[in-house]
Amino acid sequence: MELSESVQKGLQSLADPSAVDAGGFQPLVEASFRSLLSAHGDPAVLDDPGLARVDRILLKQIHAAAATFILEAVRQGADRSAISSCLEELSFSTEKIEIFYGTYQKHKKELECLLASIGRCPAKITDVSWRLQYHTKNAQLDKVNEPFYQISLSTEVPPPCRAAPPVGWKFLRFLRFLRADPWFCLLLCQNGGSSEDVNFACTTEQLQDLVGKLKDAAKSVEKASQM
């Protein structure tokens, strides 16, 4: 693995007993993996009592280097031999390599899923349902009698990407132009993690506008595929 100079220095400090003692090594390795898997980033991830004796600035540098190395190893699908060889070159002892690799093996599947979820497996629309309804009145007018459509898009997230951010938010941004209409509303619902429903209401004009934009998008994709 090719590592930048700053990452190499950070890992060398992790291996150096004078920088991180025996009692702090494993907690710091665990914290590096845990911070990558935390959905919102745990601000207290480096507050383990075992790390109290490590200089705070150096601690952050080591943590950043370890996290970078972990992601690179997962991205490349590094095996025991590759990881051991790289860490040996950075002055890791056999015992520390075993600790690091054991933690890597424990979290590898989760990290593979994390990387797979970053922009690689968008949800797919599996079904569309709709129904026509009417607004009879609102707070300002006693009589409106305006038709609108309730539309539901059923989507499915591929198995390796269950942890991906809901595709509905991308769809929400795509439909943002509809917000100018007072009858427009958009509701994002999640169904059990493996599937997500995007539900929204729109007027006839808004639906026609949406269909037109989708047709334009389809034509652009078809044109690009023929280049």
Query: Over the chain, what is the mean pLDDT?
Result: 78
- For residues 6 and 225, give the distance between their C-alpha atoms in angstroms, rounded to a whole number: 42
Residue whose pair of structure tokens reads 């919102």 in the numeric block: 40
Of 43-52, 71-80, 153-162, 188-197, highest mean pLDDT: 71-80
State the average pLDDT over residues 7-11. 94
Return the pLDDT at 138: 56
Please give the residue that has the higher pLDDT: either 179 or 151: 151
Closest by Cα among 134, 146, 24, 11 to 65: 11
Q: How many helices (H) and strands (E) does the chain have?
A: 7, 4
Position 11 pLDDT exceeds 90: yes
The reported pTM is 0.54
CB atoms closer than 10 angstroms to residue 41: 8
pLDDT digits (tens, 9 = 90+) for 169-203: 344 344 443 333 333 333 333 334 456 788 888 88
pLDDT digits (tens, 9 = 90+) for 198-227: 888 888 888 899 889 989 888 888 888 786
Which residue type sits at 41? G
Position 25 pLDDT exceeds 90: yes
DSSP-derived 3-state class of residue 121 = coil
Please give the residue that has the higher pLDDT: either 141 or 222: 222
Return the pLDDT at 159: 58
Return the pLDDT at 41: 58
Closest by Cα among 207, 127, 125 to 167: 125
